[in-house]
Amino acid sequence: MRHSGFTTLILAATVSAGAHAGSIWQALPAQPPIPADNPQTPAKIELGKTLFHDPRLSSTGTVSCASCHSVMEGGDDHRPVSIGVHGQAGGRNAPTVWNAAYHSAQFWDGRAATLEAQAVGPVTNPVEMGMADLGAAVGRLKAIPGYAPLFEKAFGVGDSITVENMGKAIAAYERTLITPNSPYDRYVRGDKRALSPQQRRGMTAFAETGCAACHAGAAFDGPTRPMGQANLMRFPAFADNPYVVRFKLDEDPGRFASTGKEEDKHMWRVPTLRNLAYTAPYFHNGAVKRLDDAVKVMAKTQLNVDLDPSTVADIVAFLDALNGEFPAQTMPRLPATPGDLVE
């Protein structure tokens, strides 16, 4: 499983060369992909931030995007599974919204091709935000007088409060949620002091163990693909071990739940490894609380490798080097609520 000499040569070459195309080590780009039909503008971003934090997009007026994806910390909610309208528990762990803009597909199973599509999905999910349909969500926004000028500023005068524009605005805001300049990023750009000796050992162990086979690319979520083409892998790949039973890793069929295709059973989008210190508990069901345990689980279930404690500690140290700089967040002032908006 390990090829120390060969991998060490790769590490030395790629780090010295920097984050060039084809390198197994790539720094996070300065900005994520931005679709031609949804360019970034300050007005659109501000509207998206407002919508992201507005619980009135839910049927009960109590759940916003930020309820499950807090940008004041890790972009998730630290629950095994999130809580939606009427106190209902969801079926999967809330993935972080930080750096989601770099993913080629969204949701745990990659079923949404774009951030725009993902942004409106939870609104009508009966367990999450519970609106009857997207038309009802648009009607809710139109009933709040303060939203009309915000949409017009972002999208122009006319019938600008639409489902499409709602998704575009939220996605535009989410594309500002990136965490660059981690110690790892500085290291691959040439700052040899950015990583500690243990983190450098962990970087080597990460590659030699085989972790980079799936967690490649600048976001550690797989190789770069066109938008809509998810990086999917089977999880668990090796199911005959105690971890699968202990953490119930194979109870959710993954992408199969969305497609009904047999070949999609237990297929999952490869998640980012950035900012893991901020996103516990781990995996699609939030069953693993500690990062060192998550490393051991992944090594055994995906590579059939039992890691010794020192190697686990080194890999965890390297993963901590992927914690980037969070841009400052200010909370939006939501438009005033009419008294008869939510019954």
pTM of the model: 0.92
E strand or H helix at 98, and its extent? none
DSSP code for 106: B
Question: Sorting pLDDT into bands at 50, 70 and 90, what band is 329?
Answer: very high
Residue 83 φ then ψ, to 5°: -110, 125
| pLDDT score for 268 | 98
**What is the set of domains in the chain, with CATH numbers?**
4-30+180-320 (1.10.760.10), 42-174 (1.10.760.10)
d(CA 3, CA 22): 20
Clarify whether 128 is annotated catalytic: yes
Q: Does 298 belong to an annotated binding site?
A: yes
CA distances from 104 to 33, 110, 130, 156 (A): 9, 8, 27, 29
- Catalytic residue (choose from 116, 128, 174, 208): 128
| pLDDT (mean) for 325-338 | 96
E strand or H helix at 16, and its extent? helix 4-17
Q: Find, among 335, 233, 318, the residue nearest to 284 by Cα.
A: 233
User: One-letter amino acid identity for 19?
Assistant: A
Q: Does 103 belong to an annotated binding site?
A: no
Q: Are 315 and 307 in contact (CB under 8 A)?
A: yes
- pLDDT tens digits for range 9-65: 444 434 443 444 447 899 999 999 999 999 999 999 999 999 999 999 999 999 999
| pLDDT score for 339 | 86
150: helix, coil or strand? Answer: helix
Count of all residues that appear for the chain in the document: 343
Residue 321 φ then ψ, to 5°: -75, -5
Q: Does 214 belong to an annotated binding site?
A: yes
| pLDDT (mean) for 127-135 | 96
Q: Does 211 belong to an annotated binding site?
A: yes
- pLDDT tens digits for range 218-252: 999 999 999 999 999 999 999 999 999 999 999 99
Token code pair at residue 218: 């600048």
37: helix, coil or strand? Answer: coil
Specify whether the backbone of 86 is left (phi greater than 0), alpha (psi in -120 to 50) or beta.
Answer: left
- pLDDT tens digits for range 65-109: 999 999 999 999 999 999 999 999 999 999 999 999 999 999 999
Token code pair at residue 322: 């992927």
Q: Indicate if the pLDDT at residue 259 is higher than 60.
A: yes
275: helix, coil or strand? Answer: coil
d(CA 137, CA 197): 52
Token code pair at residue 326: 């969070």
| pLDDT score for 155 | 98
